[in-house]
Amino acid sequence: MYKNSSTWKEIPGEITTPKGYVASAIHAGIKPGSTRKDLALLYSLNPARGAGLFTTNRVVAAPVRVCRQHLAESRGRIQAVVVNSGNANACTGRPGFIAAQQTAKEVAKVLGVSRSSVLVASTGVIGQPLPLERIQIAIRPLKGLLCFEGGRDFSEAILTTDTRPKVCVLQSRLGRESLTLAGVAKGAGMIHPRMATMLAFLTTDAAISTPLLRAALKTAVDESFNRLTVDGDTSTNDSVLLFANGAAGVEEISKRGKPFEHFQDGLAQVCTSLAQMIARDGEGASKFITITVAGARTASQAEMVARAISNSPLVKTAIAGADANWGRIICAAGYSGASIDPDRIDIGLCGVQVCRRGQQIAFDELRTKQLLSGPEIRIDLNLNQGTQQARMWTCDLTEGYIRINAAYRT
Amino acid sequence: MYKNSSTWKEIPGEITTPKGYVASAIHAGIKPGSTRKDLALLYSLNPARGAGLFTTNRVVAAPVRVCRQHLAESRGRIQAVVVNSGNANACTGRPGFIAAQQTAKEVAKVLGVSRSSVLVASTGVIGQPLPLERIQIAIRPLKGLLCFEGGRDFSEAILTTDTRPKVCVLQSRLGRESLTLAGVAKGAGMIHPRMATMLAFLTTDAAISTPLLRAALKTAVDESFNRLTVDGDTSTNDSVLLFANGAAGVEEISKRGKPFEHFQDGLAQVCTSLAQMIARDGEGASKFITITVAGARTASQAEMVARAISNSPLVKTAIAGADANWGRIICAAGYSGASIDPDRIDIGLCGVQVCRRGQQIAFDELRTKQLLSGPEIRIDLNLNQGTQQARMWTCDLTEGYIRINAAYRT
């Protein structure tokens, strides 16, 4: 049944495509002056197993603290998440924490579920009081709008500076049954997740025990959202939440083995797909960049090099300018903290080798410039020191990033 | 004689203002298409004591390796430095190293001094072969141009994307005698020095033993160039070189004590002044930003917080937009790695308190916006955890940075 672990197929859909999930969104008026939908609700008709991963920033937004509390109190039995955009509810002190708790409590009440089975997430400006009353007024209508087609509205209401929704749905047929995995994410700036990302919500109708769900999420996030950077800023609100409600009617995954590996595989695919969508939609981005560092002594050395390159504004502006400026790439490798040997490094740009053993080699500048003018950029390094590798995704750094962020709050 | 350690006074002048130094510059045609002066020479008429600090990047440019070798061979007895802009001579392999050695050797020959008393420095594009022949042709005329008024030409010839020369001269009267300290620097991008900066050359007519000269330079650089960031990229060519030729005729400083402290004081002032000039002239910069983090448990915790804020593109674009977006500041403090407590942090912007104990307080937004629209920005944090502090300098991040760096190489 699970012979081939790559049987997950991407299908059109939304976060409500797995069985047993409904969603909705509404304009609550959280950000002054905006007319967009800014409050969203996801609800599993059955109690689901849940797992979450959150920001490693020491400044932790109120909704993240409420999520941690509720996941602990409910022992991972969750049923809903309510999300607002337009306000991060971070650095809002005790009133902000109470506002997040109150939001969860009132959603629980209208849904008729326990308070601790409701999670909350927020994204937007840091340090502004959350307008709780506007949320309270909107909760009942938001519940009234819940439907199986509500995933699209949900994916739009959670956006901030994003230019488009980010959704991925995978399906796997198992004889006459099928399992579905879906994910939706938001994020375009303040992106440098370590352990989590801006906001991502994942649903599945698989049945799986809570410890295995947590393990699968951690592995998937390490390979996906944690390989992503837009600007090196780790947010206060990063949250990835995963719901597994068992509504597919497929046997519960309660131990490691083929079924678990299959699930892990699909989850990593969804997360990777969402992480790449975030990089593609990075603030002001015109190009998606994949950095692969091979031939390292250890995976963590490879990651240090890939991370330094992916965070270098000089590399990212060179790519914006379609400039085969490999000197900036080797320079970033040099200050990454990894024990590289510059005289061994090979560098390729979009498949064209431009540097061999630390020195420039003859290459077709014009053709390389053409390749670097495209929307998909590959930077490949071989450190020629070992067999380990790592990969990171990022985007180029353009004047658009500056325009967006010099004007975002006001 | 040394009662008051703050007797250093800034005077107009150049790197040749201390007694016994001559300099010159010439157009050698190192960067194709440019008509600027790009080769410069500084020469001390007497053999000087020398000290140098260099990049911590593992990718080390050829001239840096030659400097280290010559400082070791000559036991810190140096007499000249030859500098080119337009080409970094980094990642140029064995031919690059030989070219740097050859340059020093030929300069030594025309000056009639030992090879190991001549240092070399380069700045410009990484990975391109150094056009040694053009330099060789220019060395004799460069020597012919040496004069006491040559400091100005020197300071201009070493620039790349800098918009102006960076010079600081201090003088201290000691009865009928006087000591002079001078420095010149270049640097505008790829600035995140740790142990050194892009290029800085310091001269003094004080007499001081080599070990004390080294100690003084290390202290001064730690307090100045190492407190500076433009874009978080540490260059392959960072070098600070200090000449002390004793030409003032003042007694040699051969032990710690008042005279040494006095010298140390002036040296730190010159370096600080140059570091601030580099931040002010950061690529595309419209504002100079001083970040002060107080109330930390340790100085290194304070530095981690100040460094994270000074490297955050979101903070730097907010300042470009004159936006009192303190949420991005506290967010950067949170991911800095320091063990801060967000609920204790106070934040001031240009003297206006905007955050108390981790939360927004009422402040005059309009007035703050006016202050943030000026060219000098202060960001002050109090962590309220202890008594230690640290300071960093940086500049705002504007569209100008992107324009310069998307087009720099080609």
- pLDDT given for residue A194 in this prediction: 54
Instruction: Check pLDDT > 60 for residue A5.
Output: no
* Segment among A222-226, A296-300, A363-367, B183-187 with least mean pLDDT: A222-226
* Segment among A88-92, A112-116, A353-357 with least mean pLDDT: A88-92
Judge: domain B9-280, CATH 2.130.10.10. no
Which residues of chain A does B408 touch, with a Cβ-Cβ cutoff of 8 Å? 318, 321, 323, 325
- pLDDT given for residue A1 in this prediction: 38
Which residues of chain A does B335 touch, with a Cβ-Cβ cutoff of 8 Å? 56-59, 192, 233-234
Would you call A313 and B231 a contact, using CB atoms and an 8 Å cutoff? yes
Q: Which residue of B has its CA nearest to A124?
A: B327
> What is the b/e burial string over B30-65, where b = at least 16 CB atoms within 10 angstroms of the residue's CB?
bbeeeeebbbbbbbbeebbbbbbbbbbbbbbbbbbb
Residues of B with a known catalytic role: 197
Percent of chain B with pLDDT over 90: 65
Which residues of chain B does A233 touch, with a Cβ-Cβ cutoff of 8 Å? 312-314, 328, 331-332, 335
Instruction: Check pLDDT > 60 for residue B410.
Output: no
CA distance to partner chain A, nearest, from residue B402 (Å): 6
Give me the residue from A128, A320, A338 closest to B402, CB to CB: A320
Q: Which residue of B has its CA nearest to A325?
A: B409
- pLDDT given for residue B119 in this prediction: 96
Would you call A359 and B91 a contact, using CB atoms and an 8 Å cutoff? yes
Give me the residue from A313, A401, A408 closest to B233, CB to CB: A313
Q: Per-residue DSSP letters for B248-266? A: T-PPPB-SSSHHHHHHHHH
Nearest-angstrom CA–CA distance, A49 and A210: 6
Would you call A127 and B327 a contact, using CB atoms and an 8 Å cutoff? yes
Instruction: Check pLDDT > 90 for residue A349.
Output: yes
Q: Which residue of A has its CA nearest to B403?
A: A399
- pLDDT given for residue B194 in this prediction: 53
CA distance to partner chain A, nearest, from residue B362 (Å): 11
Percent of chain A with pLDDT over 70: 96
Would you call A327 and B231 a contact, using CB atoms and an 8 Å cutoff? no
Would you call B331 and A126 a contact, using CB atoms and an 8 Å cutoff? yes
User: Beta-carbon neighbour count of residue B253 at 10 Å?
Assistant: 24
Would you call B330 and A59 a contact, using CB atoms and an 8 Å cutoff? yes
Burial group, residue B222, by CB count within 10 angstroms (0-12, 13-18, 19+): middle
- pLDDT given for residue A193 in this prediction: 62
Token digits for B9? 């006074």
Instruction: Check pLDDT > 90 for residue B141.
Output: yes
User: Mean pLDDT, to the nearest integer, of B301-311?
Assistant: 94
CA distance to partner chain A, nearest, from residue B358 (Å): 6
- pLDDT given for residue B195 in this prediction: 41
Give me the residue from B231, B335, B397 closest to A402, CB to CB: B397
Would you call A402 and B403 a contact, using CB atoms and an 8 Å cutoff? no
Instruction: Check pLDDT > 80 for residue B4.
Output: no
Q: Which CATH class is domain B288-407?
A: alpha beta
Instruction: Check pLDDT > 70 for residue B43.
Output: yes
Which residues sit opposite A394 in a β-bridge? A289
Q: Which residue of B has its CA nearest to A61?
A: B331
Q: Which residue of B has its CA nearest to A397?
A: B402
User: Mean pLDDT, to the nearest integer, of A54-72?
Assistant: 92
- pLDDT given for residue B33 in this prediction: 85
Name the CA radius of gyration of chain A, rounded.
Answer: 22
Q: How confident is the model at residue B81 (pLDDT cuts 50, 70, 90)?
A: very high
How many Å is the maximal CA-CA distance in chain B? 69
Nearest-angstrom CA–CA distance, B6 and B26: 38
With tokens 């309660």, the residue in question is A254
Instruction: Check pLDDT > 80 for residue B192.
Output: no
Of residues B46 and A198, the one with the higher pLDDT is B46
**DSSP state for residue A234 in the 8-state scheme:** P
Give me the residue from B57, B341, B405 closest to A334, CB to CB: B57
Would you call B313 and A401 a contact, using CB atoms and an 8 Å cutoff? yes
Nearest-angstrom CA–CA distance, B134 and B28: 6
Percent of chain A with pLDDT over 90: 66
pLDDT (tens digit per residue) in A312-329: 998 999 999 999 999 999
Q: Is the dihedral of CA B204, B206, B211, B216 positive or negative?
A: negative
CA distance to partner chain B, nearest, from residue A113 (Å): 33
Q: How confident is the model at residue A154 (pLDDT cuts 50, 70, 90)?
A: very high
Which residues of chain A does B406 touch, with a Cβ-Cβ cutoff of 8 Å? 317-318, 320-321, 323, 398
Nearest by Cα to B328 from A397, A191, A126, A193: A126
Q: How many CB pairs below 8 Å do chains A and B form together?
A: 224
- pLDDT given for residue B386 in this prediction: 97
Percent of chain B with pLDDT over 70: 96
Nearest by Cα to A293 from A227, A206, A229, A382: A382
Give me the residue from B327, B343, B410 closest to A323, CB to CB: B410
Nearest-angstrom CA–CA distance, B69 and B258: 32
Instruction: Check pLDDT > 90 for residue A310.
Output: yes
User: Beta-carbon neighbour count of residue A241 at 10 Å?
Assistant: 25
CA distance to partner chain A, nearest, from residue B334 (Å): 4
User: Beta-carbon neighbour count of residue A339 at 10 Å?
Assistant: 13
Would you call B236 and A56 a contact, using CB atoms and an 8 Å cutoff? no
Nearest-angstrom CA–CA distance, A285 and A189: 10
Q: How confident is the model at residue A409 (pLDDT cuts 50, 70, 90)?
A: low
Which residues of chain B does A313 touch, with a Cβ-Cβ cutoff of 8 Å? 231-233, 313, 401, 405
Which residues of chain A does B369 touch, with a Cβ-Cβ cutoff of 8 Å? 410
Side-chain half-sphere CA neighbours of B194 within 13 A: 13
> Distances from the Cα of B245 to the Cαs of A116, B79, B242, B262, in angstroms?
75, 8, 10, 17
Which residues of chain B does A189 touch, with a Cβ-Cβ cutoff of 8 Å? 314
Would you call B331 and A409 a contact, using CB atoms and an 8 Å cutoff? no
* Segment among A256-265, B140-149, B217-226 with least mean pLDDT: B217-226
Token digits for B162? 């800098």
Give me the residue from A314, A334, A339 closest to B231, CB to CB: A314
Instruction: Check pLDDT > 90 for residue A352.
Output: yes
Would you call B357 and A236 a contact, using CB atoms and an 8 Å cutoff? no
Which residues of chain B does A126 touch, with a Cβ-Cβ cutoff of 8 Å? 325, 327-328, 330-331
Would you call A127 and B397 a contact, using CB atoms and an 8 Å cutoff? no
Nearest by Cα to A100 from A151, A135, A127: A135
Question: What residues have CB less than 8 Å from B35, skipping those under 6 apart?
Answer: B27
Which residues of chain B does A321 touch, with a Cβ-Cβ cutoff of 8 Å? 405-408, 410
Domain ranges of chain A: 9-280, 288-407
- pLDDT given for residue B406 in this prediction: 82
User: Beta-carbon neighbour count of residue B356 at 10 Å?
Assistant: 16
User: Mean pLDDT, to the nearest integer, of B99-118?
Assistant: 98
Would you call A402 and B57 a contact, using CB atoms and an 8 Å cutoff? no
The overall pTM is greater than 0.90:
no
Q: How confident is the model at residue A374 (pLDDT cuts 50, 70, 90)?
A: very high
Which residues of chain A does B313 touch, with a Cβ-Cβ cutoff of 8 Å? 231-233, 313, 401, 405
Side-chain half-sphere CA neighbours of A21 within 13 A: 36
Residues of A with a known catalytic role: 197
Q: Which residue of B has its CA nearest to A320?
A: B406
Which residues sit opposite A179 in a β-bridge? A172
CA distance to partner chain B, nearest, from residue A365 (Å): 10
Would you call A407 and B355 a contact, using CB atoms and an 8 Å cutoff? no
pLDDT (tens digit per residue) in B334-386: 989 999 999 999 999 999 999 999 999 999 999 999 999 999 999 999 999 99
Give me the residue from B235, B357, B402 closest to A402, CB to CB: B402
Best mean pLDDT range from A54-58, A109-113, A164-168: A109-113
- pLDDT given for residue A387 in this prediction: 97
Which residues sit opposite A378 in a β-bridge? A290
Nearest by Cα to B84 from B129, B23, B37: B37
- pLDDT given for residue A160 in this prediction: 85
Nearest-angstrom CA–CA distance, A13 and A168: 8
Burial group, residue B84, by CB count within 10 angstroms (0-12, 13-18, 19+): buried
Would you call A93 and B311 a contact, using CB atoms and an 8 Å cutoff? no
From first CA to last CA, the distance across chain A in angstroms is: 55
Give me the residue from A312, A326, A398 closest to B127, CB to CB: A326
Q: How confident is the model at residue A195 (pLDDT cuts 50, 70, 90)?
A: very low
Which residues of chain A does B342 touch, with a Cβ-Cβ cutoff of 8 Å? 58-60, 91
Which residues of chain A does B359 touch, with a Cβ-Cβ cutoff of 8 Å? 91-93, 127
Would you call A236 and B331 a contact, using CB atoms and an 8 Å cutoff? yes
User: Mean pLDDT, to the nearest integer, of A1-19?
Assistant: 78
Would you call A233 and B312 a contact, using CB atoms and an 8 Å cutoff? yes
Instruction: Check pLDDT > 70 for residue A183.
Output: yes
Nearest-angstrom CA–CA distance, B42 and B20: 11
Q: Which residue of A has its CA nearest to B193?
A: A335
Q: Round the average pLDDT of chain B to a whole number and report it.
A: 90
